[in-house]
Every structure is written in structure tokens, then in C-alpha cells.
Structure 1
């Protein structure tokens, strides 16, 4: 039992490394295919759209509830690893690359939410702590390609693709061999295409879901534009020793620490209060971002961007915990999956929204618009708290 959570965490980390593999090597791909900087947003959105399509189909078919979630995880890891290799084909075009990234995202639907389902089946007690480590692994996996890019700068960019696919294979095999289906997995579920919507009947489930949606408006757009933020700051202040891939990794990876810390804190203070505080801090960071993007103090910019990187991710496992705890037992996997699907649909809107509006003239204050999601999420959480108090 003690080994199960570490294996799930490591497998999640390895398998989700294929998620942002394209972003880490975007500069190389853009030069090879003669693409403009805006293609980064399209590449990110292709993965997200694939993930949304996959999670929607998995939720409707109740895949994680009707079948062994461990076997689902393994199969999807193998397929995602194989498709991820498609990005390294010599004859790729801008269109085929988007197709490969879409397909990779589709099968990530059997990795991220299914990994949370496996953890929730094993760890009903202390679920916040468990998901804190698990989502922390997702964040680290998201950041890892940037570190690989920094470490393999002298090698062809395809090595990043090869390495992330190899990690996904190892993670899938580890999950299959070392982790059984948990005691919380209800076997023999029948197909019910409306099952995934049942959780929304619960007001606490709805509040957690909408808090998560507000968080998702901000988090992936922040991660997608981190290299551009750092690059803009570097150019503005003529800094020559700022390693953009390495700093991008460090900032995104800092969120893995805050996820784990938030999970631990939730054991003492509760998941909802800790999630609310994290969402509030990240909202403030959005609103204060112009001050630090234009300031000429590099240390202040670095400290600020790290605080933002930690706050933007910290609430994710806590909202997932609240969703899992308030979802119907028979459709927990589908409930997690549909919330993921809607949340990632929101990320496409926010990424494309920022990308469409971003210009050299507004590059320093455009990220204030990322506060829209946290503000709405905080309002829903406050309203649910008021209704709960009135009910008592």
C-alpha cells in the first residue's frame, strides 16, 4: 500500500511529460517550418482540444468507471507515447504537427483524470494530500520538456520528443505492473450516457467545479505564455544571461511544490479554504503583473513570477479533491473527467483570447485579463459559502 501513491505520482509525471513537449521546442519548429510566434498558441490549443475531445468521449462512455482504470491508463500511455513521436517526422507541416498534438492530447484524457480516479479509489482518507502530490506530478511533467530543452540545447530538438515518449512508456508500464485497481473502484458499471452529469445536482460539487473552471482560465494560459513573458522582459531590459527554457521550467515546476504543500495544508485547514486563498493570490498576481513586467529590478521580477507560478497551480488538486469527494461514488471517474473536459475547453478560450489581443504595445499588461477566471471562481465559492451558512 505504501508504494502505490509514489508509483502513481511517478507514472503521472512521466506520462504527462508529452503534454507540453511541443512548446519546449517551439522555437526550433518555428524556424524549421517558417512559422510566426502566434503558432505557439495554436500548438498549445491543439493539445488542449484533443484532451477536451478525449475527456468528453471518456466521460460519456464512463470509461474510467466501467473498465479497469489502471488498464485504461496503461493503454492510453502507450498510444500517447507513439503519437507524440509523430512530431519528430522530417516531413511534418504546420497542419500535420497540429494533428499529432491533437491526437496526443486525446489520449492524455486516459492519463490525467484517470490517474486521479486511481488515487481516489485508493486514498479516500487524506485525498487532498494524495491529489496534491499527484497534480504536482502533472505540473512537473508539464514543465519537464523545458528542462530537457535546456539540457539538450546542443542536440537536435527531436531528442526532447524521444525522451518524453520514452518516459510515457515507462510510466504506463509501471502503473500496470505495480498498481492494482483500488478498493473504491465500483466494478461492473453499466453504460449510462447521462452518468457524468449527476454530480452537478450537488451544490458543493457545482461550487468546486466552477472554482476549478476559474482556475483553469488562468493556469494554462500562464504556462503557455511564460516563455514569451520572460523573453519580453529579457528584450525590454537587454538581459543577456537569462536562460528562457531553464527559467520556464523552474517557474512552472514551482507549482508542483505548491500543489504538494497545498495538499498537506488541506489536511489541517480543509481543501476549500486553502484553494480559495491560492486562487485569490494568483488573481492578485494577474492584476499586479504589469508592475513587475516593466520594473527594472530583475530579482523582483523573478520573485514575483515564482510566486505567481506557485499560486496558479496550488488550488488545482484541492478543487479536484472537492469534486471527487462530492461526486456520486458510481460515477466518480466520469465526474472528474467531465469537469476536466470543461476546464480544458476554457483553457483554449483563454489562450486564444490572450493570443488574439496580445501586441508589442500591450505585452506588459495583457495578462491582467487572466484575472477574469479567478474573480468569477472566487464569487461562486463565496456564494456557495453564503448559501451553506444560510442553510445552517
Structure 2
């Protein structure tokens, strides 16, 4: 195990560096709106564009079992370099909404060879203690997702382009780091031939379906919450005339999203004692309750409101490594990479509907009440895990 720890550290670091591409445009959204003359709905469209690209990429990777047939480390490197380059397209001065959506979609496509492939590499190294390992790995995804907000908050004297350049540089470094330092894992079983029916075979196993369905409920809430954290802060600051909150929204967005990394690590560790299903259910129930009581929190003091968002950020992603562990453990060994990839693909497809639902509702209804619709996901996930099985 002592020899595996440096490997996990490298995988986690590389994952953090590369997934900083995910919300790079969200962290500089205000500047993009001004510089390219975009409407406020661009937030939902650009976030959805990354999700769509990721879904198409994961579907193709899963259909052709790419991560099971090709060296995962090489695939990770190629996608990191491609994603890093495509991320820089945001800097082109002639951009409009269509070109930005196109470039962000392609970045999402490249992320299909980063996030699920990183989990595949971890699963190839850690047959035992996989839940704890994926806790650190998904925690790195969370911090990587939040990191553009951190860069934006602490480079206020520099142009917004520094955020884009910084995230691209990180992604390239992460891809090279993993490729050089992490060879194929000892538990990797490569698939020798193309089997286009592999996806259907994977879902024939009931325990696999149950794990996947819980993950789908989790994904309905997760990215909708992350995408609209800045909007929640702005809504509260406007209602109560607290410009200090809106002025520091980048800092708070980083903290609220980033604290989820602690939740992932903690859930991965506690799952070894409490069990995967129980730990995932606690997280789903906690974040679901946050969705339901969110309208009342807009009426509270700043300390309560911000503390509530921090707790929500802690719990909203804590079940992600647990469900990924359950998916990996219940998938056929030779199709483990394909299983993780297709479940990711379907989960992110679900997230598009929740993001676009909120994007529509925020324009037509009182914004304080729209976030209760995110509770649909946790409720469905809990039902699949407990009531339906009984």
C-alpha cells in the first residue's frame, strides 16, 4: 500500500489540474457577458455546452470501449492537451455566443477522456479501499471545478484572460504528469476486441443498475447547484442590499464549491465503516433537504445564508465517489472503464435538463423558489436505493 500512495497523489493532482477546465468560463462569466455582448442566459448555455460535449465524448468512448482498449494514461494525456488548447479559444476576439458554445462543447468532449478515465486508472491500482481512493479523486474534481473561481478572485488586478490561460496551463501540466509518472495499473484487464453490445451487457446486472440509478439522481442536483451558486449569491445580495457579498462572489463560489472536496474525502473514508449504501443515502438526504428549505434561507442573515450554502456544497457531491465505487465494483472486470464512462455520460445528460430547467425558471418566477426543483434528484436516488429494492 505504501507504494500505491504516491500513485494516488499523482492521479489526484493530475485530475485537479485537468478538471479546472470545466468551469473556466463560469468563473469569468461577467467579463464574457460584457466583452462579447452576451445575455445573462449565456450562463446556462455555456455550462450546458460543456455537459453536452462531455456526454457525446463519453458515449463514443463507451461505445468503442476506448479506455478498456487503449492505455488510460496515454488517453488522459491526449485529452488533457486537446482540452487545454481548446480552452484557449475563449480568448479569440471575434467570439460570439455560438462560437463560445462550440468551443466549450469541444472542451467537454475532451473531459470525457479525463474524469472517467482518471477513475478507471484509480480502479486499476486500488482493488481494495477503492471508495477511499475515489473519495480523494472526486475531491480533486471538485477542487478543480472550483479553482477557476479562486483564480478569478485573486487576480482582480489582471485581465480575465489570465484565468483562461492559467486553467489551460494547469491542464497541460496535469496530463503530462500522469502520463510520465503513472503507468497502467496492476489490476487493469484490457479488452482485446471491440464489443458494441458491451453497454447493454453491463446494465443487465441488477446491482449495477441500482448503483447507476442512484448516481443519476445525484447528478440531477449536482451541476445545477454548482452552476447557479454565483446566481444564488447575487440574488441574496440584491434582496438584502449586501454589495459585499456580490463583490466577493468569486471567493464565496470557490469556497462553496470547493468544500465539496472535503465531503468527498470524508464520505470515502466513512463508507469503509458505515457501508457505501448508507453513506450515499445520508449525503443524498442531506442535500435534498437543502433543496427543499432553500427558499427560507434567502430570508435569513448573511451568516446563516452563507453557512447554509457551505453545508450544501459539502453534502451535494459527497455521494459521488460512493456511487462511482458501487458502479466500478458491480461492473464486469473487462468493461470497468466502459461502465464508469457510460454511467458518467448518462448522469451528465440528466444534469443538462436540470440546468436548463433552472435557466428557464429564473427568468419567469421568483428566483428564491426555483431551487426546490433540484430535490427531484435526491428523492429519486433515495427511492431507487431503498424503497424500490424493498
User: Which runs of at least 4 in structure 1 moved beyond 6 Å after TM superposition?
Assistant: none
SS of 2:317's equivalent in the other structure is helix
> 2:58: which partner in 1?
55
> 1:206: which partner in 2?
209
- Distance in structure 2 (CA, Å) of the matches to 1:355 and 1:90: 27
> 1:258: which partner in 2?
263
Shift of 1:361: 4.4
Contact in 1 for aligned 2:79/2:110 (Cα 8 Å): yes
Contact in 2 for aligned 1:280/1:378 (Cα 8 Å): yes
> Is residue 376 of structure 2 the alignment partner of residue 372 of structure 1?
yes
Shift of 1:119: 0.1
SS of 1:365's equivalent in the other structure is helix
> 1:268: which partner in 2?
273
- Distance in structure 2 (CA, Å) of the matches to 1:197 and 1:266: 29
> 2:254: which partner in 1?
249
> Is residue 284 of structure 2 the alignment partner of residue 279 of structure 1?
yes
Which consecutive unaligned segments of at least 5 residues does structure 1 have? 387-392
Deviates further, 315-324 or 184-193: 184-193
The one of 64, 69, 89 aligned to 2:67 = 64
- Distance in structure 2 (CA, Å) of the matches to 1:196 and 1:384: 23
> 1:390: which partner in 2?
none
The number of aligned residues is 385
Contact in 2 for aligned 1:219/1:313 (Cα 8 Å): yes
> 2:334: which partner in 1?
330
Deviations 1:63-101 (A, max 9, x none): 000010111001100110011111111111111111110
- Distance in structure 2 (CA, Å) of the matches to 1:187 and 1:301: 49
Contact in 2 for aligned 1:13/1:141 (Cα 8 Å): yes
> 1:389: which partner in 2?
none
> Is residue 362 of structure 2 the alignment partner of residue 354 of structure 1?
no
The one of 182, 196, 208 aligned to 1:193 = 196
Contact in 2 for aligned 1:209/1:323 (Cα 8 Å): yes
Contact in 1 for aligned 2:87/2:107 (Cα 8 Å): yes
- Distance in structure 1 (CA, Å) of the matches to 2:67 and 2:105: 21
Shift of 1:286: 0.2
Contact in 2 for aligned 1:74/1:173 (Cα 8 Å): yes
Shift of 1:271: 1.3
> Is residue 365 of structure 2 the alignment partner of residue 342 of structure 1?
no
Shift of 1:384: 5.3
The one of 80, 93, 98 aligned to 2:96 = 93
The one of 103, 106, 109 aligned to 2:106 = 103
- Distance in structure 1 (CA, Å) of the matches to 2:80 and 2:363: 38
Contact in 2 for aligned 1:120/1:324 (Cα 8 Å): yes
- Distance in structure 2 (CA, Å) of the matches to 1:60 and 1:85: 29
TM-score, with structure 2 as normaliser: 0.97
- Distance in structure 2 (CA, Å) of the matches to 1:283 and 1:289: 10
The one of 301, 305, 322 aligned to 2:309 = 305
The one of 83, 87, 90 aligned to 1:84 = 87
> 1:363: which partner in 2?
367
- Distance in structure 2 (CA, Å) of the matches to 1:294 and 1:36: 28
